[in-house]
Amino acid sequence: GNSVTQMEGPVTLSEEAFLTINCTYTATGYPSLFWYVQYPGEGLQLLLKATKADDKGSNKGFEATYRKETTSFHLEKGSVQVSDSAVYFCALIMQGGSEKLVFGKGMKLTVNP
Amino acid sequence: GAGVSQTPSNKVTEKGKYVELRCDPISGHTALYWYRQSLGQGPEFLIYFQGTGAADDSGLPNDRFFAVRPEGSVSTLKIQRTERGDSAVYLCASSLKGVLGTDTQYFGPGTRLTVL
């Protein structure tokens, strides 16, 4: 079936450090790819998305590029802030199929000042 | 309202009881989704509505779980004969059209269900 694998945490970084969160997917068709974020005490919210190969999603200094050849959608940020502390989820939806999101397990990031 | 709302925010019940969880989607969104999130895990899909009808209910774990959306807006997730293993955060999301796999799903704050 369709699935998402993302690197497991928790991860602790210092402010201004570089962040990469790896995400790879397995899909029988053509997926759209998403990163969702859950800040402490808040609900899930979309961080960025990409719907076709080589598209780059970006938001709040975060970027991720849809790589079909490596079935990956790694999340990067050049300089993290304390306010980026959250749980990050990679997810996919199969285009042309059911509209259900398939999530990875999530990775908790803590950024220290 | 501006976002997806869910009530109650917390529900504590005893094993064997019946519970209902409510979701109010963003106005005008035709697609509505229910997910369940256990501690330390990503959300897992339960059911998806397109308008009033359930377009995909393949994620419902068994026949104790049922969901309705009679007027194509508010939805209720119903759980009969609750078990301790049903304890989780139940998330609702909505999207504008819910087609082509490209719509953004907007999530509510969730209902934390605890079965004692």
Strand, coil or helix: B86: helix
The predicted structure's pLDDT at residue A32: 92
**What does the alpha-carbon distance between residue B14 and residue B10 come to, in Å, rounded to a whole number?**
14
The predicted structure's pLDDT at residue A102: 94
The predicted structure's pLDDT at residue A67: 97
A73-98 average pLDDT score: 93
User: CA of B42: how far to CAs of A35, A58, B2, B70, B89, in Å?
Assistant: 12, 22, 25, 28, 11
- Is the preceding omega at residue B8 within 30 degrees of 0, hence cis? yes
For chain B, how long is the longest CA-to-CA vector? 41
A28 inside 8 A of chain B by CB? no
Which residues of chain B are modeled with pLDDT < 70?
A: 1, 98-99, 101
A79 inside 8 A of chain B by CB? no
Residue of B nearest to A50 (CA): B102
**What does the alpha-carbon distance between residue A47 and residue A61 come to, in Å, rounded to a whole number?**
10
The predicted structure's pLDDT at residue B67: 97
